Amino acid sequence: MSDKNVLLINPWIYDFAAYDMWSKPLGLLYIGGLLRANGYKISLINCLDRYNPELLVYQNLITPKSTEYDCGKFHKEIIEKPQILKDVQRKYGRYGLPIHIFRNELKKVPKPDIILVTSGMTYWYPGVFDVISEVKGYFGDIPVILGGTYATLCYDHAIEHSKADYVICGEGEVKALKLVQELIGGNISFIPQNLDDYPYPAYDLLTSKNSLAILTSRGCPMGCTYCASSIVAGKFRQRDPIKVVDEIEFYYKAFRTKNFAFYDDALLLKPDEHITVILKEIIDRKINCNFHTPNAMHASQINESLAKLMFNAGFKTIRISLETSNITRQKAIGNKVTPEILREAIINLKKVGYKGRDIGVYVLICLPGQPLEEMMESVRYVHECGALTKLAVYSPIPQTKEWDKAVKYFGFDLNADPLLHNDSIYPLRLNDITIDDIQKVKALALELNKEI
Ligand code: B12
């Protein structure tokens, strides 16, 4: 055991809206798990912890207000909107722990030898910068390593502006371990060779384990033009399905975890050797939990027998991607689904017992050049299939195939600041489509969803 302390930090979200839908700092905790397996002592400050005891006292609550599946609102404090987002007529806020509680957390953790900070959405970087500035102010000259989605997709920006001492791109477990060892010493005794080798994420550090995230694979082979999965998560690889269920069972028994959210980009691919095995094993081992798929699944794999297994295994929140009902655009952006395939998947899900309200279909709006009527039509199509529409507003992500097209279409310097990746901006910047038009799409979805 090394006597070196590593502090892991999951920063605040700075945005117009944010909701805790099984949001866990999974990547950071994977890194924590590997560092611990190599003898380092780890601690965590999770700015997005709704269960933080001091936060609950501050909010006058005994437990956070949560849905039956452990989702809920983050604490929000209104802060000044960055100048570049001034035309968005919504209140901007810091989501998560109030700053005084964060500072108290800094006092409570063992003095770190090194600090590892993760980052989520690219446009949440101000929360990351504030964390870095806080820890530098409090601990002084301790090295800070930054990684995560923002660090990977906006590497140059992070190097130039974050004030982190080191910025790491992409999958971080082994890179972080080697850098930590180089900077503060310690012995590397174990380097994982593949996904099945990774120690479990250090979930014991979370205050609440009522819900946890599970990753059965990394990456995605689909290459959709708007998505950065392959850049952030690398080549598509699946874990041994039995080991996935061992992990779920471990949390179920050790922490009594009741809700699991799959974070996979492509949970259903190669179903016979992967998800089918996972589902059968969950059923055989009588793991009585709720499973959720907030990141959406591929409709093409949902036949009746898979739907039945999902139902019997306890899959509760079903999310599927359609993106658009326009076949030409579907082919151009991902070619992973057609309206007919979606309809079939919904029929199969309903045959085995799911209700329309259990099934949410993601519809992507505000794509460059997408006509208003196409957005409306997609919403109507999902309704006709008997499921809920879940609207997702497109926002350009650097390094994706859609990026250059978006830069041309939106006509402003998207490279100027990652804050411009925030999806709240795009309904305001479409050619020939007004914000009122987009409100009509949202209103239509709301109205039709009520009928499901
Ligand atoms: C799961 C997921 C979600 C979950 C929530 C995740 C969470 N933690 O809260 C849900 C489904 C709710 C979600 C929602 C959204 N998401 Co999302 N999501 C993902 C997904 C699929 C996986 C993220 C993940 O946890 N991966 C697993 C862990 C192991 O990986 P990781 O966090 O990246 O960590 C690794 C490395 O980054 C690195 N690392 C991480 N931290 C650190 C720290 C240090 C010090 C080091 C060295 C390394 C390091 O090492 C880790 C281990 O290898 C990614 C795509 C992807 N494949 O990455 C998109 C992704 C992050 N999401 C994206 C988007 C667009 C969204 C939405 C806006 C979609 C929408 N239109 O509604 C919403 C917004 C969410 C919100 N406002 O709260 C984009 C990011 C866009 C951007 N501009 O940044 C991504 C990249 C997908 C895409 N479309 O390209 N998402």
Give the Cα separation of 107 and 390 in Å (integer).
42
pLDDT in tens, 147-162: 999 999 999 999 999 9
Based on its alpha-carbon atoms, the radius of gyration of the chain, rounded to whole angstroms, reads 22
Position 1 confidence tier, pLDDT thresholds 50, 70, 90: low
Residue 373 in this model has a pLDDT that exceeds 90: yes
Q: DSSP readout, 40-93? A: -EEEEEETT-TT-HHHHHHHT-SS----TTS-EEPPEEE-PPPGGGTTS-S--E
Whether residue 128 is predicted with pLDDT greater than 90 in this model: the reply is: yes
Q: Is the pLDDT of residue 428 over 90?
A: no
Q: In the CATH hierarchy, which fold is given to the domain comprising 5-184? A: Rossmann fold (3.40.50)
d(CA 344, CA 342): 5
Q: Which residues contact 239 (CB under 8 A, 6 or more apart)?
A: 195, 196, 215, 216, 217
Residue 316 in this model has a pLDDT that exceeds 70? yes
What's the 336 CA to ligand 1 centre distance in angstroms? 21
Ligand 1 pocket test target in 115, 121, 366, 397 with most atoms within 8 Å of CB = 121
DSSP 412-437: S-GGG-GGGG-TTSGGGS-SS--HHH
- Which three-class secondary structure state does DSSP give residue 94? strand
| Residues 390, 158: Cα–Cα separation, whole Å | 32
How confident is the model at residue 3, as a pLDDT?
A: 86
The whole-model pTM stands at 0.97
Has residue 291 got a pLDDT over 80? yes
Percent of the chain exceeding pLDDT 70 equals 100
Q: What does the pLDDT look like over 394-427, one tens digit per residue? A: 999 999 999 999 998 888 888 889 999 999 999 8
Confidence check: pLDDT of 134 > 80: yes
Q: How much is the pLDDT for 431?
A: 87
Atom of ligand 1 nearest to the CA of 25: 8
Mean pLDDT, the chain, integer? 96
Q: Three-class SS of residue 52?
A: coil
Contact 55, 101 (CB under 8 A): yes
Give the residues surrounding ligand 1 with Cβ less than 6 Å away: 18, 21, 23-24, 26-28, 30-31, 116-118, 121-123, 145-149, 152-153, 168, 171-173, 175-176, 215, 227-229, 232-233, 263, 265, 294-295, 392-393, 397, 421, 423
Compute the distance between CA of residue 244 and CA of residue 238 in angstroms, rounded to an integer.
Answer: 10
Q: Is 68 exposed, middle or buried (0-12, 13-18, 19+ CB in 10 A)?
A: exposed
Query: Whose C-alpha lies nearest to ligand 1, atom 57?
Result: 229
pLDDT band at 40 (very low <50, low <70, confident <90, very high): very high
For the chain, count helices (H), then strands (E): 16, 18
How far is Cα 316 from Cα 358, in angstroms, rounded to an integer?
7
Query: Within a 13 Å sphere around the CA of 15, how many CA atoms are in the beta-carbon half?
Result: 23
End-to-end CA distance of the chain: 56
Superfamily designation of domain 209-450? Aldolase class I (3.20.20.70)
Other CB atoms within 10 A of residue 168 CB: 20
pLDDT score of 203: 98
Residue 2 has pLDDT above 80, yes or no: no
Count of Cβ atoms closer than 10 Å to residue 245 Cβ: 22
Which stretch of DSSP H or E encloses residue 130? helix 125-139
Pocket test residue of 125, 206, 215, 295 for ligand 1, highest count of atoms within 8 A of CB:
295
Asked if residue 116 lies in contact with residue 7, where contact means CB atoms within 8 angstroms, the answer is: yes
Bridging pattern class, strands 290-292 and 315-323: parallel
pLDDT per residue as tens digits for the range 170-185? 999 999 999 999 999 9
Length of the chain: 452
List the domain boundaries for the chain: 5-184, 209-450
Instruction: Read off the pLDDT of each residue in 221-227 and give the average, rounded to a whole number.
Output: 93
